[in-house]
């Protein structure tokens, strides 16, 4: 286990509106506001998305299992922002529900808001954690 201790910096409250790009918007805010490290919370609706719901098998490197969200879903979740190659890299896991079905996974690639989605970004100051591609796994892993 490796860790660093930081403190809470600025707090950014975001209202994403219908058809906004969620992941792109979080990345844009982090770049514009020079947020190097943060945790964020989301609640609201997603119109379309693409999530990874786990590896196909418990082997390395993992082969992801993808699920497409092709219609509106409620979403709640938590994510982090840490730099990768000098730019903000967003990592978000959430629960996505529609009627009596719930999917849980890592939102990647496509992330279009449905109606309204709220985000609260809590900046973390005093840490130097970053993401680097692990060549053996092919994943952007946290380096502390």
pLDDT at 101: 95
Neighbours of 44 (CB within 10 A): 17
Overall residue count recorded for the chain in this entry: 144
pLDDT tens string 50-61: 999 999 999 988
Tokens 């009627």 -> residue: 99
Q: 82: closest CA among 94, 92, 67, 74?
A: 92
Tokens 């058809």 -> residue: 19
Q: Rounded to whole angstroms, how far apart are CA atoms 33 and 76?
A: 24
Using the predicted structure, report yes or no on whether residue 10 has a pLDDT greater than 90: yes
The mean pLDDT value of the chain amounts to 97
pLDDT band for position 88 (cuts 50, 70, 90):
very high
pLDDT at 136: 85
Range with the lowest mean pLDDT among 14-23, 46-55, 87-96, 132-141? 132-141
> Domains along the chain?
10-143 (3.30.1330.80)
Strand partners, 16: 117
CB 14 within 8 A of CB 44: no
Q: Rounded to whole angstroms, how far apart are CA atoms 62 and 56?
A: 7
SS3 122: strand
pLDDT at 137: 87
SS3 26: helix
Longest dimension (CA), the chain: 43
Q: Rounded to whole angstroms, how far apart are CA atoms 33 and 26?
A: 11
CB 123 within 8 A of CB 34: no
């Amino acid at each position: 286990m490796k860790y660093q201790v930081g403190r809470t910096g600025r707090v950014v409250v975001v209202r994403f509106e219908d058809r906004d790009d969620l992941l792109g918007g979080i990345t844009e805010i982090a770049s514009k506001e020079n947020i190097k490290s943060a945790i964020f919370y989301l609640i609201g609706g997603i119109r379309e998305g693409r999530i990874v719901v786990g590896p196909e098998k418990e082997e390395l490197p993992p082969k992801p299992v993808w699920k497409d969200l092709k219609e509106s879903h409620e979403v709640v979740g938590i994510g982090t922002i840490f730099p990768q190659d000098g730019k903000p890299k967003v990592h978000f896991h959430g629960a996505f529900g529609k009627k009596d079905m719930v999917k849980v996974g890592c939102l990647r690639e496509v992330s279009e808001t449905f109606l309204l989605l709220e985000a609260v970004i809590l900046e973390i100051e005093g840490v130097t954690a970053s993401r680097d591609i692990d060549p053996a796994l092919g994943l952007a892993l946290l380096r502390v």
